Amino acid sequence: MTRQHTDPLSRSALDALSSDLRLACMRIARRVRYESTSDVAPHQMSVLSRLEDAPRTLRELAAIENVSAPSMSRTTTGLVERGFVERTNDPSDGRQVILSLSADGKRALRDARRRRDLWMHVRINHLDADEQQTLARAAEILAKVAAE
Amino acid sequence: MTRQHTDPLSRSALDALSSDLRLACMRIARRVRYESTSDVAPHQMSVLSRLEDAPRTLRELAAIENVSAPSMSRTTTGLVERGFVERTNDPSDGRQVILSLSADGKRALRDARRRRDLWMHVRINHLDADEQQTLARAAEILAKVAAE
DNA sequence: TATTGTTATACTCTATAACTATA
DNA sequence: TATAGTTATAGAGTATAACAATA
């Protein structure tokens, strides 16, 4: 790919881009959430994905998710009852509880992601090759922006 | 700008792009929502932006927002009490109520958007010109995707 | 005494069912 | 009788305060 000189965006173009891009991302997020409904609620899904990285104690989960300990207690109780999360006692500290993802939990997580990705896949499939290439480059930049 | 031939994305590249782009949009949406907090709750903001286009009856708003009439009644009552929305009787049908955006409502909407756009603006400002140009093209495509 | 997690209680947003007023 | 909107009541999810068990 030949690299060409690109002029920086004007102040007003930057304003418009911020607004347009922000709106598009929020609309897409809303539609993905709305149209790929799951029997696992969003806050439950979020906990499952946190447990995917590593088992956690309740306090850790509450802190990561910016939620109170009682709320997280309720959320994880529900997930344990549904078999998506396993609760084991910490052998080294009797106060703590280790929460981890069960096989069913991993499956639920994978299925939910598949449904969400499908929504986007269908729409990207309808774009032409140029547009797809632009989005491929944009996806990297947006990932950087989101992680910042 | 010279237009070049671009190859279509492979099946696996499309899969990865769907997933990456979906995730990036959802993360950005979450961070914008989380970091540009407002005293107007999200469901209230949403109603304000609906009323920006045109005044609406309660049933219309409920249908547009996919919410029950009693829920919308509560939401709009709150907005009327805060002076963001005006409630007038429909002269031609005594059962109906016309809800419209007040000057304060318009201001609240504008301020909230400004805060949200600012989040994105700061981040886009840090990108180089090439990346900005790519996002400018991507924004159009994403808007199309979101509207589809 | 400090910390982990749960229970008690309350507030918000959601819903459905019952009600009032108007067509 | 049907429709627009409100009120009554209940179900999630959130929070803070009070509690039990453990360190």
pLDDT greater than 90 at residue A21: yes
The full DSSP string for A35-70 is HS--SS-HHHHHHHHHHHHS-EEHHHHHHHTT--HH
Q: Which of these ranges, B7-16, B44-53, B84-93, has the smallest mean pLDDT?
A: B7-16
Place of tokens 């609620």: A41
As a rounded value in angstroms, the CA-to-C1' distance for A37 and C16 is 21
| pLDDT single digits (tens) A79-106 | 999 999 999 999 999 999 999 999 999 9
Q: Do A136 and B29 touch (CB under 8 A)?
A: no
Q: Do B18 and A117 touch (CB under 8 A)?
A: yes
pLDDT greater than 60 at residue A16: yes
> Residue A127: which region, alpha, beta or left (left: phi > 0; alpha: psi -120 to 50)?
beta
pLDDT for A38 equals 87
Determine what percent of chain A is predicted with pLDDT higher than 70: 97
Q: Do A133 and B9 touch (CB under 8 A)?
A: yes
| pLDDT single digits (tens) B64-89 | 999 999 999 999 999 999 999 999 99
Q: Do B124 and A135 touch (CB under 8 A)?
A: no
pLDDT greater than 60 at residue B1: no
Q: Is the CB of B145 under 7 A from strand D?
A: no
Query: Model's pTM, two decimal places?
Result: 0.87
**Closest Cα of chain B to A20: distance in Å?**
6
pLDDT greater than 90 at residue B4: no
pLDDT for A1 equals 57
Token couple for A60: 């850790």
CB pairs under 8 A between A and B: 182
Q: How confident is the model at residue B109 (pLDDT cuts 50, 70, 90)?
A: very high
pLDDT for B77 equals 97
Mean pLDDT of chain A: 94
pLDDT greater than 90 at residue B35: no
Region A137-143: mean pLDDT is 98
As a rounded value in angstroms, the CA-to-C1' distance for A94 and D21 is 8
Region B139-143: mean pLDDT is 98
The continuous run of DSSP H or E covering A124 comes out as: helix A103-125
Alpha helices in chain B (DSSP H): 11-35, 42-53, 58-65, 69-81, 103-125, 129-147
pLDDT greater than 70 at residue A17: yes
pLDDT greater than 90 at residue A37: no
Mean pLDDT of chain B: 94
Interface test with B, best of A11, A14, A23, A25 (most B CBs within 10 A): A25
pLDDT for A20 equals 97
